[in-house]
């Protein structure tokens, strides 16, 4: 009999969690104005709000923390991380930032101007926020299959090449500072981009002389999917695939809180000296001197180790296997989720789950609140609330899909926790037709409203 695949690590430290009562949760969610971001973490039993900065560091990472060099300039931790980045991605220039959106802020301050267009595959919300904040437009060129939850296309993060070509043909090239590829594509369900698609985007970018930027937050998970699903990559190592992926890019922004397996950190890496030179000034203004840029030396050390651990095949098989395990259970209960299952999260199709709740009443948010009430599980809405208002008309933007995202932190929960999540959702699914009314907004911010929005239930 073949041995089952267990986690390639054992647990050295534990953090207690508390399962509250439904009555407690009813009070807490009311006090939180029905926004799950407003809950205190002690009020949450299993926290699937994000896989960002919530992973468990290894003993080697903690050991690296102790040998961090906190020098203001020229820290050895900076040079250690610089070497790891050069070896993994092949980029000569690197700037640390305190997290991914800070990398976007610094690089886009140098590159994005009023009236620009940035085509890409379902830009992440902070990426889009940093584009729109500069009065530029994020043009989503993701393939149509990505918007069909049951479509089994193996690379639903891919860009539609014809659509991208149309954007490049019909707009002034000087207003397209770069094309951005998000690997994996978070907004479409942690879906990977194939090497072939990366190559095709690069060929088009070259033809129009436009640089290609990667948003690499989950680059290792993307490489793992390529190794599993794309012909010609079965005998390549994850690191070989990562290096080939980045060989097609001019640079990357990175949220190290994902595939860096650290709790805070980010960076910009590039082969373009002029990008580096321009970004340096903004890095010094917004983040810190170029050799620490918002990160402690110890955190750069931990990141250098984390990047290597995240590109170990056994780690990736276990990590993504856990996400698939949850996806299979939910599908087994008849719940519609984005298929194939993503790398970091399961995206539940909230519209199929709650057919009576209207999109104007925030279907995926309603489902997330119900899941919290059912079992103290905190998910996140990826739907109308997150889609925000159109910057010009100020009307609500209604996305094609209403998702509730169950993001799985790295190396944190056991499969028994995942069983609890699956049963909680099954219980909700059994009584889903009783849930008919959603929520209305009582207060919202002008941009990135989902973080701070306040809501109230719509009464009968
Ligand atoms: N790009 C992608 C694809 C992301 O998923 C995120 C963050 C960022 C950029 C920004 O990075 O948080 O370090 O500033 N995603 C988190 C999430 C917040 O929950 O998916 P950051």
pLDDT for the residue numbered 110: 98
Answer yes or no: 124 catalytic: yes
- Residue range 179-190, pLDDT digits in tens: 999 999 988 889
- Calculate what percentage of the chain has a pLDDT beyond 70: 100
Can you tell me whether residue 213 is helix, strand or coil? strand
The domains of the chain are located at 22-51+313-457, 59-309
Write out the E strands in 193-344.
212-215, 251-255, 266-270
Six-digit token pair at 416?
A: 């028994």
Average pLDDT over residues 88-96: 98
Q: CA torsion sign, 111 to 117 to 123 to 128? A: positive
Cα 230 to the center of its chain, rounded Å: 22
* Cβ contact 217:255 at 8 Å: yes
From the list 124, 248, 267, 276, the catalytic residue is 124
* Interval between CA 318 and ligand 1 midpoint (Å): 22
Using an 8 Å Cβ cutoff, are 299 and 264 in contact?
yes
Closest to 93 measured CA to CA, from 103, 102, 101: 103
User: CB neighbours (10 Å) of residue 6?
Assistant: 9
CATH code given to domain 59-309: 3.40.640.10
Expressed in angstroms and rounded, the spacing between residue 159 Cα and the centre of ligand 1 is: 20
Q: Is 72 considered catalytic here?
A: yes
User: Is the model's pLDDT at 328 over the cut of 90?
Assistant: yes
CA dihedral 183, 318, 149, 237 (to 10 degrees): 40
Based on the residue annotation, tell me whether 217 is a catalytic residue of this protein: yes
> Tens digit of pLDDT for each residue in 121-148?
999 989 999 999 999 999 999 999 998 9
CB neighbour list of residue 451: distance below 8 Å, 6 or more residues apart: 37, 445
Catalytic option among 47, 215, 250, 259: 215
- Is the Cα dihedral 53, 59, 61, 62 positive or negative? positive
Instruction: Give the Cα separation of 335 and 427 in Å (integer).
Output: 11
Q: Which two structure tokens, joined as six digits, stand for 377?
A: 């599980």
Q: What is the C-alpha to C-alpha distance for residues 408 and 411, in angstroms, rounded to an integer?
A: 9
Total number of residues shown for the chain: 460
Ligand 1 atom with least separation from CA of 257: 13
Class of domain 22-51+313-457: alpha beta
Specify the pLDDT at position 447. 82
How many angstroms does the Cα of residue 214 sit away from the middle of ligand 1?
13
For residue 448 the two structure tokens come to: 């990135």
Ligand 1 lined by 85 (C-beta under 6 Å): no
Q: Is the CB of 101 under 6 A from ligand 1?
A: yes
- Active-site residue, selected from the candidate residues 47, 51, 125, 299: 125
Continuous H helices in 32-67: 59-66
Q: What is the pLDDT of residues 237-295, one digit of tens each?
A: 999 999 999 999 999 999 999 999 999 999 999 999 999 999 999 999 999 999 999 99
Q: Which is catalytic among the residues 138, 217, 223, 379?
A: 217
Residue 135 is among the residues annotated as catalytic for this protein? no
Question: What pTM was estimated for this model as a whole?
Answer: 0.95
- Integer Cα distance of 229 and 234 in angstroms: 8
Position in ligand 1 atom list of the atom nearest CA 215: 1
For residue 20, report the distance from its CA to the centre of ligand 1, in Å: 29
Angle at CA of residue 16, ends 11 and 21, nearest 5° = 140
350-366: per-residue pLDDT in tens? 999 999 999 999 999 99
Residue 450 annotated in active site = yes
Mutational test site, ligand 1, from 36, 47, 51, 52, max ligand atoms within 8 Å of CB: 52
């Amino acid at each position: 009999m073949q041995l089952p695949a267990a986690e390639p690590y054992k647990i050295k430290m534990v953090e207690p969690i508390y399962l509250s009562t439904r009555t407690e949760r009813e009070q807490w969610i009311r006090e939180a104005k029905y926004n799950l971001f407003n809950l205190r973490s002690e009020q949450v039993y299993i926290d699937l709000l994000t896989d960002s900065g919530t992973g468990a560091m290894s003993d080697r990472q903690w050991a690296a923390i102790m040998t961090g060099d906190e020098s203001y300039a020229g820290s050895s931790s900076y040079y250690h991380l610089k070497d790891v980045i050069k070896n993994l991605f092949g980029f000569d220039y690197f700037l640390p930032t305190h997290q991914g959106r800070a990398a976007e802020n610094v690089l886009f301050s140098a590159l994005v101007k009023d009236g620009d267009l940035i085509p890409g595959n379902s830009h992440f919300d902070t990426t889009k926020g940093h584009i729109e904040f500069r009065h530029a437009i994020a043009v989503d060129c993701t393939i149509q299959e990505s918007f069909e939850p049951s479509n089994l296309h193996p690379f639903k993060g891919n860009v539609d090449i014809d659509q991208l070509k149309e954007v490049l043909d019909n707009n002034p090239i000087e207003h397209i500072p770069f094309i951005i590829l998000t690997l994996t594509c978070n907004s479409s369900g942690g879906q990977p981009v194939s090497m072939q698609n990366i190559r095709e985007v690069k060929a088009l970018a070259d033809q129009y002389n436009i640089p290609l930027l990667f948003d690499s937050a989950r680059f290792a998970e993307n490489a793992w999917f390529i190794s599993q699903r794309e012909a010609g990559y079965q005998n390549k190592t994850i690191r070989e695939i990562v290096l080939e992926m980045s060989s097609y890019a001019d640079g990357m922004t990175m949220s190290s809180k994902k595939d860096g397996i650290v709790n805070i950190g980010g960076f910009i890496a590039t082969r373009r000296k002029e990008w580096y030179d321009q970004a340096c000034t903004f890095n010094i203004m917004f983040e810190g001197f170029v050799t620490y840029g918002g990160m402690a030396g110890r955190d750069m050390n931990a990141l250098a180790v984390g990047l290597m651990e995240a590109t170990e095949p056994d780690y990736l098989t276990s990590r993504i296997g856990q996400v698939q395990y949850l996806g299979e259970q939910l599908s087994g209960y008849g719940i519609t989720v984005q298929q194939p299952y993503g790398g970091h999260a399961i995206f539940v199709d909230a519209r199929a789950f709650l057919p009576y709740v209207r999109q104007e009443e925030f279907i995926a948010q309603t489902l997330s609140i119900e899941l919290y009430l059912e079992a103290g599980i905190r998910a996140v809405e990826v739907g109308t609330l997150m889609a925000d208002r159109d910057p010009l008309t100020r009307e609500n933007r209604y996305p094609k899909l209403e998702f509730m995202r169950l993001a799985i932190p790295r190396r944190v929960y056991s499969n028994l926790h995942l069983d609890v999540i699956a049963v909680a959702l099954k219980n909700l699914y059994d009584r889903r037709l009783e849930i008919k009314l959603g929520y209305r907004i009582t207060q919202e911010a002008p941009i990135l409203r989902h973080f701070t929005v306040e809501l109230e239930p719509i009464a009968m």
